[in-house]
Amino acid sequence: MLAALSRVKIPRRPSSELLLRCIFEQKVERGELSPLTLSSVTCSRKVGGVRDVSTSSTLCTKVRGNSKKREMSEKKLTRHFVDHRRVKLVAGSGGKGASSFHSEPRKEWGGPDGGNGGDGGSIIIKADRFVKSLAQVVPVYKGEDGESGGSKNCYGRNGSPTYIRVPLGTVVKEQGKTILDMTEHGQEYLAAFGGAGGKGNRFFLSNENRSPMTATPGITGQERLLQLELRTMAHAGLVGFPNAGKSSLLRAITNARPAVAAYPFTTLNPHVGIVKYRDHEQVAVADIPGIIRGAHLNRGLGISFLRHIERCRFLLFVLDLSAPEPWTQLQHLRYELDQYEPGLSQRPQAIIANKMDLSEAQEKLETLKSHVSQRVIPVSALTGQNTEELILHLRELYDGYLQGGGNG
């Protein structure tokens, strides 16, 4: 019986070295590891029943593909872009004052020693050039309350101020009236005052009242309801109907990369690009989302993006030469702007005839020039044709804007 049992082979457990090698071979087959890293595995001798495994630094690395950062789609960009917020601000309340008397051995008449409460924290709106949207602004802000006073003439700690960081170009409104236009980096606006702290009974000590018992509570912080609107900070604005090629034109003259597609309303939020000149002057150009008829009545994207044109000092009307009558687009665009704000279409402007690469574009260009009295710049955003003339004319408009006292 014992001899029969001795002939039975007991299966041995695989060593840790064998298990590691099997794991590495599987990773090589899936392409997660390079075949060269398999040979770099070395095992030391067994110490205390455990093998110490040492590997090279390349063993834990994975085979990386193309590390080029993928461009975010227009839908995802719109999700993170917010140009208006309605916020409720409640500043911190002041801490209450303390009512106490000094207590010390062999000192019967110590007197009042209640300290004052701390002031509540205020809420401050601050302009920050590194913030690009109002998406981080929450609907309600509550300031920090001040701490209550204590005995031994201890004053309560003041509440820390709460900062709301907004992008440049944010307009602060209350009940429809503009309060402040934040156009400079670091500009601050004290939106809600914190309440003052209450007085302790030490404050009421006088010759007539040597043992006051009075202590006052803190004052409630200020409460306000404000509207924050973001208006794009740009010198020039590209204005046109949907699918007129505004985004393609912005890509052709600047380094901005807005989404481009062969369907209308591709651009759902404003994009700003910078045109750089040899004398290191820079002109900001904004791509305004497409305007349709009745936009001043809040149709389509409506007035939510018409307000971005208000801050542009000069306008670039982009006309689509593939339309049957492109000169009528100019009339409708000016009408929508004037209905939104009288005189808005009378700002310094340029007329851009886009899509000159089409076969019928030259004939429509001559008809367009006969219908308008201003200068018409024919370009092709797809091929880059005649974009140099547009860039030079853009500089002329910018220099005229500066000579007119618009250096703010």
pLDDT of residue 43: 43
176/171 Cα distance (integer angstroms) = 11
pLDDT of residue 174: 92
H or E segment at 4? helix 2-6
71/68 Cα distance (integer angstroms) = 9
Domain with CATH 2.70.210.12 in the chain: 82-231
Alpha helix positions (H), 350-386: 361-371
- Give Dmax (Cα) for the chain: 116
Closest CA to 293 of 248, 355, 353, 337: 337
Residue found under tokens 């801050």: 311
Neighbours of 184 (CB within 10 A): 11
pLDDT of residue 264: 53
- CA count, 13 A, side-chain hemisphere, 52: 5
pLDDT of residue 298: 53
Closest CA to 172 of 80, 296, 87, 288: 87
- Identity (one letter) of the amino acid at 326? P
As assigned by CATH, the class of the 234-405 domain is: alpha beta
Closest CA to 166 of 182, 142, 190, 143: 182
pLDDT of residue 76: 47
Question: Tokens representing 51?
Answer: 């093998």
pTM score: 0.58
Q: Does domain 82-231 have CATH number 2.70.210.12?
A: yes
pLDDT of residue 42: 46
Residue found under tokens 């309440």: 195
358/210 Cα distance (integer angstroms) = 95
State the 10-residue block means of pLDDT for the chain, 408 residues long: 50 61 71 55 44 47 48 46 84 94 81 93 92 85 94 92 91 90 91 94 89 91 92 80 82 75 58 83 80 59 67 85 83 85 85 85 85 86 86 87 62
pLDDT of residue 15: 61
Do the beta carbons of residue 237 and residue 288 sit within 8 Å?
Answer: yes
Do the beta carbons of residue 197 and residue 95 sit within 8 Å?
Answer: yes
107/326 Cα distance (integer angstroms) = 96
Q: What are phi and psi of 174, to 5 degrees?
A: -140, 120
Domain with CATH 3.40.50.300 in the chain: 234-405
233/285 Cα distance (integer angstroms) = 9
